[in-house]
Amino acid sequence: MKIAVLPGDGIGPEVTREAVRVLEALGLADLELTYADVGGAAYHRTGHPLPVETLEIARSSDAILFGAVGDPTCDNLERHLRPEQAILGLRKELGLFANLRPAKVFKGLEDASALRPEVAGAIDLLIVRELNGDVYFGEKGIRTLPDGRRQGWDMMSYAEDEVRRIAHVGFKAAQGRRGKLCSVDKANVLETSQLWRDVVCEVAADYPDIELSHMYVDNAAMQLVRSPGQFDVIVTGNLFGDILSDQASMCVGSIGLLASASLSEGTLGLYEPIHGSAPDIAGQGVANPMATVLSAAMLLRHSLGLEAQAARVEAAVAKTLADGVRGADLGGSHGTAQIGDAIVERL
């Protein structure tokens, strides 16, 4: 079982370290970890945020454990050299098109949510975000119009096969859960969304057991706060999924708790916390590693087929929270390594 570990920038290395400790504590035979540079860390060392060597290590692994990328000292670099290009490049190059972002309130954390406890307590949803298309990967630029004004532009598009394959992921995920799929788009304004909606409806014919609904993204943002308990699986495009998943994290209580899996057509997957590099708290040992530990659990489940071990890790995190261990993100005083210790102890 070959795992590429890409800690990256900011708090990435700190939280990744704890997730690796948890994986090692499981005592799996044949676990082979290979570390590689990515993001700003890679740029500073090699001049590129996604060195060829890193890409090859990732490509030849069974799974990738990813920390975070983002480094304010790189903000003024040309776009193709910025740290974010590393994660976008990995997603595209490795065909990681399906991003699963589960959001569920842990017992005892209802009070941590930005929502009222009785509203937050009902959250158990999965965002399935398309990851290889949309305005993220279209042509873009800043040009000067004939009258001298500058104009920024980004091309948004989805081809039907791109919509179809992510729709299948959404429907299948719903089959393994409560049987409800909500497709989020902006079909009242965007042609890209109209095609998205048409294709999702076509795919629905294969899944008569699933209750399909459609929602405009603005309404979805509102409903996520008003009554998030209504959602089971949400399937949406790259940009809307990016925004809604950050919003869902605060409904759950902390962005420090949300894991994600980015999956390809095969078993190769990349697993990362959704929180990013958080440069403001990097290096202080205060970041909550739980999102990364939960991402490692998803790695065990989706790429290595180790469901029992995945469930063990998730139970250990839930127990750690139930026992009152809280990082600063949840108003507590436990540091990164302390939280890692507590999880390992409960394994």
Residues recognised as catalytic: 136, 186, 218, 242, 246
Among 71, 110, 162, 242, binds ligand IPM (CB under 6 A): 242
Segment holding 65, helix H or strand E = strand 63-68
Residues whose CB falls within 8 Å of the CB of residue 189, separated by 6 or more in sequence, listed in order: none
The dihedrals phi and psi of 277, each to the nearest 5 degrees, come to -85, -15
SS3 call for 187: coil
Q: Are 158 and 192 in contact (CB under 8 A)?
A: yes
Q: Which stretch binds ligand IPM (CB under 6 A): 80-88, 137-145, 155-163, 169-177?
A: 80-88
Among 1, 23, 38, 87, binds ligand IPM (CB under 6 A): 87
CB of 264 to ligand IPM, least distance (A): 16
Residue nearest to Mg ion as judged by C-beta position: 242
133 binding partner (options Mg ion, ligand IPM, none; Cβ < 5 to 8 Å by kind): none
Among 9, 18, 110, 242, binds Mg ion (CB under 5 A): 242
In terms of CB distance, is 87 or 103 closer to ligand IPM? 87
Q: CA-to-CA distance for 291 and 260, rounded, in angstroms?
A: 8
Q: Taking CB under 6 A as the rule, does residue 185 contact ligand IPM?
A: no
Q: Which stretch binds Mg ion (CB under 5 A): 53-61, 65-73, 238-246, 279-287?
A: 238-246
Q: Which stretch binds Mg ion (CB under 5 A): 123-131, 190-198, 239-247, 293-301?
A: 239-247
In terms of CB distance, is 37 or 110 closer to ligand IPM? 37
Residue ranges in 256-275 that form contacts with ligand IPM under rule CB under 6 A: 274
Residue ranges in 216-235 that form contacts with ligand IPM under rule CB under 6 A: none
Residue nearest to ligand IPM as judged by C-beta position: 84
CB count in 10 Å sphere of residue 212:
19
Q: Which stretch binds ligand IPM (CB under 6 A): 47-55, 81-89, 138-146, 302-310?
A: 81-89
Q: Taking CB under 6 A as the rule, does residue 62 contact ligand IPM?
A: no
Q: Which candidate, 144, 102, 66, places its Cα nearest to that of 248?
A: 102
CB of 87 to ligand IPM, least distance (A): 5
In the numeric block, the tokens 């035979």 are attached to 29
Query: Distance from first CA to last CA of the chain, Å, rounded?
Result: 21
DSSP state of 113: S
Measured N-to-C along each axis, helices 307-322 and 290-302 cross at an angle, to the nearest 10 degrees, of 160
341 binding partner (options Mg ion, ligand IPM, none; Cβ < 5 to 8 Å by kind): none
Q: Are 239 and 196 in contact (CB under 8 A)?
A: no
Q: Which stretch binds Mg ion (CB under 5 A): 85-93, 234-242, 284-292, 308-316?
A: 234-242
In the numeric block, the tokens 């209504």 are attached to 230
Q: CA-to-CA distance for 205 and 158, rounded, in angstroms?
A: 21
Q: Taking CB under 6 A as the rule, does residue 255 contact ligand IPM?
A: no
CB of 71 to ligand IPM, least distance (A): 11
Q: Residue 33 carries which side chain, given as an amino acid letter?
A: L
Tokens read off for 145: 């119009």
How many Cα atoms are found within 13 Å in the side-chain-facing hemisphere of 193? 17
CB of 121 to ligand IPM, least distance (A): 25
Apex CA 176: angle with CA 208 and CA 210, to 5°? 20
Q: Taking CB under 6 A as the rule, does residue 36 contact ligand IPM?
A: no
Segment holding 12, helix H or strand E = helix 12-25
49 binding partner (options Mg ion, ligand IPM, none; Cβ < 5 to 8 Å by kind): none
Binding site for ligand IPM (CB under 6 A): 70, 84, 87-88, 242, 274, 276
